[in-house]
Amino acid sequence: MSVQTWTFIIVGLTFALYIGIAIWSRASSTKEFYVAGGGVHPIVNGMATAADWMSAASFISMAGLISFMGYDGGVYLMGWTGGYVLLALLLAPYLRKFGKFTVPDFIGDRYYSNIARTVAVVCAIIVSFTYVAGQMRGVGVVFSRFLEVPINTGVYFGMAIVFFYAVLGGMKGITYTQVAQYCVLIFAYMVPAIFISLSITGHAIPQLGFIGKVTDGSGTFLLDKLDQLNVELGFAEYMDGSKKMIDVFAITFALMVGTAGLPHVIVRFFTVPRVKDARLSAGWALLFIAILYTTAPAIAAFARTNLINTVSNRPYSEMPEWFKKWEVTALLGWVDKNNDGVIQYSKGTAIVGKGPVQEKENGVAVRGASGEVVVTNADPANPNELYIDQDIMVLANPEIAGLPAWVIALVAAGGLAAALSTAAGLLLVISTSLSHDLIKKQFRPDISEKAELWWARGGAAMAVMVAGYFGIHPPGFVAATVALAFGLAAASFFPAIILGIFDKRMNREGAISGMVVGITLMLYYMLKYKLNYFGGGTADDWWFGISPEGFGSVAMFVNMIISLVVSRLTAPPPADVQAIVEDIRIPRGAGEAQAH
């Protein structure tokens, strides 16, 4: 059977499974819709959290990113896992004890202020929308590459699926679908990793193959060989970084704190029955995430080795099938700068601008002297002839390693599972923000349960439409704004929640001024250095040498300091609020927390 037939079968089966689960677990109350009734087992919740968290970016892009960054890729690995320690120790148990539905609920009640609640709602919606647009795009890319349909058709299909189970099932439907999606995505990630690890190093466990020796009889370690290959081609050693230490620190910290402040992750801990389950559930979630996150650097190293060995200094005519297939998608491009028909791969940019521009005649790509797709935007400044998009590394890895067709199809299903599960979690945050935090808490407090549920469904439906629109017409700033989402969460939610739990004296004035200054500072820095507003600036102008990606950590500290200073200069919070803080610090009584 062909790869395409396999892909249709496997993707079709997984989609049928998701829809089946959605029908079986329909939500009938707002509590079921928002937090799955609060009765999810910690292991189940851990799996759902893992699927919720691991997006198309984790599944498709991360290993590729690391394989080009080497040591520096560690910022993503540490940054996106270390946040769970903060979640488990500093946030999850207390927020579960607090026992409401959303992050704005906590901010609004703890700071006895509808302004604080509104600031939190706006942040939650911005963060979630930036994130969800990227997921829809990811669905489109996987569809177009593996099922050979136009990207937009893929996005429509993804929208229909998410619409079905998010609108119908709410958190309850999403939770059980996410468990299935976790199983699909982790299986799809591990199978090729194990195959490739066996073929390169002889170890069945990729984490061991990563630090093992290559089986070509030379007796050298894989990573040493990779260091050597990298240096030969003019790149930095794989195990050495090229970013400044202060920046590596700042980015890692911003990602950790941002992770702990993301509303769609936090809300998952409202779904377990008890405080101790919230703690335990964070542990399971990180364990399930760690399986993928410790495999990713191994895949990165295998893929990099395979890639260099396959393409470097080889004639184009000898290139395997996958090379030519990806060439057509313009995620790969070769420009024969010295006209010798041989691929020279080295440090430096092969082309000018973003992605290869292909020469077309009547819609058909023009072929060059060696039969390659002609790319018109070659960069004459340096000898590197090969352009590779980082996303290829995971998607093409099974093909590069020559694995059977069903494995390749499995990777497509895994990428879709990762994108859909994250999209659904985000859509739920958006719909809850609308129906619960805005409609019920601000405009119509007397709304009936049934009407609120309809608002929630309507909100989810609307959010799917908007997300789909962004998936089809991706704004140019998507890549920049995903990093912004972490910075925003770090600069706004994280300090407000932490101080709300650990500092009894923290009051409304302190929290609001901290959040507003934190977000404004973050936005300013991002707009200036990432999108060139306010006169722009280069890496030399960065404050303390910290990149926009890492600036969330600075903004977070500024937020904390301002909150602390302002709170000490203004009146302490009322006694009943101080009693709330006392109460959330003790586990007993969480079950009795008010249902609504």
Partner 1 sequence: MADSDNKLVKYWKRNLLYLVVLLSIWFLVSYVFGIFLADSLNGIRIGGAKLGFWFAQQGSIYSFVILIFVYVWLMNRLDKEYDVHED
40 binds partner 1 per the rule CB under 8 A: no
Distance separating alpha carbons of residues 525 and 346, to the nearest angstrom = 33
Distance separating alpha carbons of residues 253 and 79, to the nearest angstrom = 6
557 binds partner 1 per the rule CB under 8 A: no
204 binds partner 1 per the rule CB under 8 A: no
Which residues 215-244 are close enough to bind partner 1 by CB under 8 A?
Answer: 221-224, 239
Distance separating alpha carbons of residues 320 and 535, to the nearest angstrom = 47
Q: At what angle do helices 168-201 and 405-432 cross, to 10 degrees?
A: 150
**Of 117, 213, 508, 530, the one binding partner 1 by CB under 8 A:** 213
219, burial (CB in 10 Å: exposed 0-12, middle 13-18, buried 19+): exposed
499, burial (CB in 10 Å: exposed 0-12, middle 13-18, buried 19+): buried
Element containing residue 291 per DSSP (H, E): helix 275-311
Nearest to 35 by CA among 596, 487, 471: 596
205 binds partner 1 per the rule CB under 8 A: no
**Of 325, 358, 587, 593, the one binding partner 1 by CB under 8 A:** 587
CB 302 within 8 A of CB 229: no
CA dihedral 582, 586, 592, 596 (to 10 degrees): 50
Nearest to 213 by CA among 229, 205, 227, 224: 224
What single letter denotes the amino acid at residue 373? V
477 binds partner 1 per the rule CB under 8 A: no
330 binds partner 1 per the rule CB under 8 A: no
Stretch that binds partner 1, among 80-88, 378-386, 408-416, 445-453 (CB under 8 A): 80-88
Q: Closer CB to partner 1, residue 7 or residue 259?
A: 259
Stretch that binds partner 1, among 119-127, 248-256, 326-334, 475-483 (CB under 8 A): 248-256
Alpha-carbon distances of 313 from 332, 385, 460, rounded to whole Å: 16, 10, 52
- How many residues bind partner 1, per CB under 8 A? 51
Distance separating alpha carbons of residues 41 and 37, to the nearest angstrom = 11
CB 170 within 8 A of CB 22: no
Alpha-carbon distances of 83 from 69, 106, 285, 452, 487, rounded to whole Å: 22, 20, 12, 33, 13
Q: Closer CB to partner 1, residue 243 or residue 528?
A: 243
Q: Closer CB to partner 1, residue 298 or residue 378?
A: 298
78 binds partner 1 per the rule CB under 8 A: yes
84 binds partner 1 per the rule CB under 8 A: yes
194 binds partner 1 per the rule CB under 8 A: no
DSSP 79-117: HHHHHHHHIIIIIHHHHHHH--S-HHHHHHHHTT-HHHH
Q: Closer CB to partner 1, residue 148 or residue 592?
A: 592
For residue 354, the 8-state DSSP code is S
CA dihedral 233, 234, 237, 241 (to 10 degrees): -130
490 binds partner 1 per the rule CB under 8 A: no
580 binds partner 1 per the rule CB under 8 A: no
Site string for partner 1, 347-386 (x = CB under 8 A): ----------------------------------------
585 binds partner 1 per the rule CB under 8 A: yes
Site string for partner 1, 153-192 (x = CB under 8 A): ----------------------------------------
Which residue is associated with the tokens 């937090």?
35
406 binds partner 1 per the rule CB under 8 A: no
290 binds partner 1 per the rule CB under 8 A: yes
CB 359 within 8 A of CB 376: yes
Nearest-approach distance from CB 218 to partner 1, in angstroms: 12
249 binds partner 1 per the rule CB under 8 A: yes
304 binds partner 1 per the rule CB under 8 A: no
Q: Closer CB to partner 1, residue 90 or residue 147?
A: 90
**Of 235, 293, 525, 551, the one binding partner 1 by CB under 8 A:** 293
Nearest-approach distance from CB 209 to partner 1, in angstroms: 10
Which residues 86-145 are close enough to bind partner 1 by CB under 8 A?
Answer: 88-90, 93
206 binds partner 1 per the rule CB under 8 A: no
The footprint of partner 1 (CB under 8 A) covers 66, 71, 73-74, 77-78, 81-82, 84-85, 88-90, 93, 207-208, 210-213, 221-224, 239, 245, 248-249, 252-253, 274-276, 279-280, 282-283, 286-287, 290, 293-294, 297, 582, 585-591
